[in-house]
Amino acid sequence: MYQQDEDKRDRRRKNGIGNYNYYKMFGCFNRKFKISDLGPPQDVIDVFRLYSTDGSEMLPDKFLLFLTEFQGEEGITIEDAQQIMDRVLDLSTSHLTRYAFTVNDFFHYLLDEINGPLKTQVHQDMTAPLQHYFIYTGHNSYLTGNQLSSDSSEVPIIRALQRGVRGIELDLWPNNARDGIHVLHGRTLTTPVTLLKCLKSIKEHAFVQSPYPVIITLEDHLTPSLQAKVAEMVTSTFGDMLYFPHPSDKNEFPSPDELKYHIILSTKPPKEYLPSKNAHKRRSSVDKDSSDDEWEDLRQSNSDQDDDDDDTYSISDRSYFCPSSDRCSASSSTHRMSDILGVDYEDDDNEDEKSGHQTALEYKHLIAIHASKPKKGTRKALMDEPGKAKRLSVSEQALQRAASLYGADIVRFTQKYILRVFPKGTRVTSTNFRPLTAWMHGAQMVAFNMQGYGRSLWMMHGMFRANGGCGYVRKPDFLMHKGPNGEVFDPKATLPVKTTLKVKVYMGDGWRLDFSQTHFDAYSPPDFYTKINMRGVAVDVSKKRTRVIVDDWTPTWNEEFTFPLRVPELALLEILVQEYDVDRADFAGQTCLPVSELRPGIRVVPLHNKKGEKFKSVKLLMRFLFV
């Protein structure tokens, strides 16, 4: 990898004359900028001297000592050290016959992806029940863009699964002929995709990235006869991959380990319909006995504002509702109101209820995780129901309000049941909310629009880089245990500093390989700086930044920052490189790392684009030290 970078760099330098970059000014004369040589920072030189013989070469025994003492690696043998040295030196194709690092070889190793900041293997206990884990979860997983008019497709589902997402949401609606099933965002201008195409795509890609279970959450707007078709499609498509619920599941969810390579269905159990004379008693609006919680959530949705990373829309924003179209029925505002409130509304077009009893049972037997929504108020829905393992869905603002008024009830609920939090309906451009409040209260399924981008989504990607990127991250013990008097974790509590993380930003490289010479500035090399932000409980939040390095494609900062942490288990380190501009900073790369998973020592940190895709070459060299 590093040799390929060197070859590209050599070709780029040949485009300059005498190791200089030339930029045209006003189209008539050149400005000359010297190209900085990529060399090891002083700390790297000092560490090499410490673990080398006479400061000239590092042999395998000394390299092993460096890995165990300085980098904190565990279980490394002399054979492992030699294999790493072989990778860097490439002894199989060189004239060298012995393992020995020069300082430049050692520097090349530090910049190799094998020296990344996180473990790449699953290492957490995967034998606890599902509610003990945060689960990588998508929202409206079939949408390619915005929530109102984008296409529905299996492509974003495939991409999500390839990233490691374990929760896929499908909205099921009858087709125009009412004899088939479409997946789309109902009563909007989104185009449909067939359910069968989605199911086949899930089957083919479910376990490419991770062996742990995929949970399909269904928003079901179907008649009993169409539910029977879903049951047939699901069983014929997935076969043995489909998990059939066991009687014991009513008391306790199975573990990710038990559910490896299985597909799990989660939705509301269908009604076991009575004679049709009762059909007209079904509600066409919210329950009369609903508490004021949801209505308060609606009232507050106008005033709920996120930070500048996410677009927000008020309920009265006309752009939220469909433009004039035959596809936007008079009931569309009612449908969207259900998204906003986190309250479920029933359709009243089930004309075949008389024959629905048996088909409802067939469908019901496939549902491994029963879902519900807080029709009688969020607080009531959070009450314990012995012998009924379940999943509760609430909107982001319902969660926010509940956290501020009765957060302990949420934590107690998530110790036993699964809580899914979804974006408010006004996020029509597929933005996302900050997930940390949900995680702090133990919410397992924080559902995100994976097709978007922005800081909130970077945090989601960052959290699930933990545990080898398998899509399941074990919740901290304090979220699963009660104190001697029944007390639970309180994110607002004043806690002592548990550990201090020191972060040193040495240098950055790779932009000249991944970007054109004039991408950031038409007249000079870029002026890079790095932001280091700590995200977590309120008392742990902190923002730092380096100085600006002017006119340099390989900036060297050598700056250290200190972060005292009260709850490191829920902390995320956000790293953002920008190019300074008087009007607006230009994006130059980002990543987000779970603090509890950071490997100490000098590490290479690959950066990603705005959508979370890793750049080919752009990276930072950093050091992490826990005190």
Task: Extract the runs of DSSP E, i.e. beta strands, from 289-443.
Answer: 367-372, 391-395, 418-422
What is the maximal distance between C-alpha atoms in the chain? 93
**25: CB partners within 8 A, 6+ apart:** 31, 523
pLDDT digits (tens, 9 = 90+) for 432-487: 999 999 999 999 999 999 998 899 999 999 999 999 999 999 999 999 999 999 99
Q: How high does pLDDT run on average in the chain?
A: 84
Question: What's the pLDDT at 102?
Answer: 94
Phi, psi of 201, deg, nearest 5 = -65, -40
- Which two tokens mark 299? 């009232």
Cβ atoms of 118 and 60 closer than 8 Å: no
pLDDT digits (tens, 9 = 90+) for 497-545: 999 999 999 999 999 999 999 999 888 899 999 999 999 999 999 999 9
CA distance 359 to 327: 29
Q: Among residues 115, 126, 123, 75, which one has the least CA distance to residue 466?
A: 123
Residue numbers annotated as active site: 139, 185
CA distance 452 to 357: 41
Strand 586-594 with 572-579, pairing? antiparallel
Strand 167-174 with 499-509, pairing? unpaired
Q: Among residues 385, 387, 386, 381, which one has the least CA distance to residue 343?
A: 381
CA distance 517 to 503: 30
Q: Residue 465 to residues 53, 228, 598: CA-CA distances in angstroms?
A: 37, 38, 11
Question: What's the pLDDT at 84?
Answer: 94
Q: Which of 37-41, 111-115, 190-194 has the lowest mean pLDDT?
A: 37-41
Cβ atoms of 501 and 563 closer than 8 Å: yes
CA distance 535 to 592: 10
User: Which residues does residue 191 pair with via DSSP β-bridges, in sequence order?
Assistant: 151
- Is residue 350 packed enough to be buried (19+ CB in 10 Å), middle (13-18) or exposed (0-12)? buried
